Amino acid sequence: QVQLQESGPGLVKPSQTLSLTCTVSGGSISSGSYYWSWIRQPAGKGLEWIGRIYTSGSTNYNPSLKSRVTISVDTSKNQFSLKLSSVTAADTAVYYCASGVAGSFDYWGQGTLVTVSS
């Protein structure tokens, strides 16, 4: 059973870069046909897909965030990461890492709250 765990700073200053890592356990990030995604959820609001990476390193991003997002993978550590630059208060949210084959998100991390504030 694949398990995902997010980690990273819970507080980021405006205009800085948010950086989060998702550690995968119970399976290799390099095996199978899984895509590895980041999804966020502002307090009391719905879910927004941020982007995904395949084990080959190919990435896809939400067009609304594309200019500020970078997702990378470190197969040696069984991790993938999110960087979101030039953050504002609007980026305050619970950030989830998730994985699935093609269209669904089968596995989710527990989520980590990131607050953007000075």
Partner 1 sequence: DIQMTQSPSSLSASVGDRVTITCQASQDISNYLNWYQQKPGKAPKLLIYDASNLETGVPSRFSGSGSGTDFTFTISSLQPEDIATYYCQQYDNLPQYTFGQGTKLEIK
Q: Judged by CB under 8 A, does residue 25 bind partner 1?
A: no
Comparing CA positions, the residue from 74, 84, 91, 87 lying closest to residue 24 is 74
Q: Judged by CB under 8 A, does residue 96 bind partner 1?
A: yes
Binding mask 64-83 for partner 1 (x = CB under 8 A): --------------------
Torsion of CA 98, 103, 104, 110, to 10 degrees: 10
Q: Judged by CB under 8 A, does residue 110 bind partner 1?
A: yes
DSSP state of 6: E
52, 91, 93, 116: which one contacts partner 1 (CB under 8 A)?
Answer: 52
Residue 2 vs 16, nearer CB to partner 1 = 2
Residue 11 vs 47, nearer CB to partner 1 = 47
Q: Judged by CB under 8 A, does residue 103 bind partner 1?
A: yes
8, 42, 55, 105: which one contacts partner 1 (CB under 8 A)?
Answer: 105
Residue 18 vs 52, nearer CB to partner 1 = 52
**Contact between residue 117 and residue 94 where contact means Cβ atoms under 8 Å apart:** no
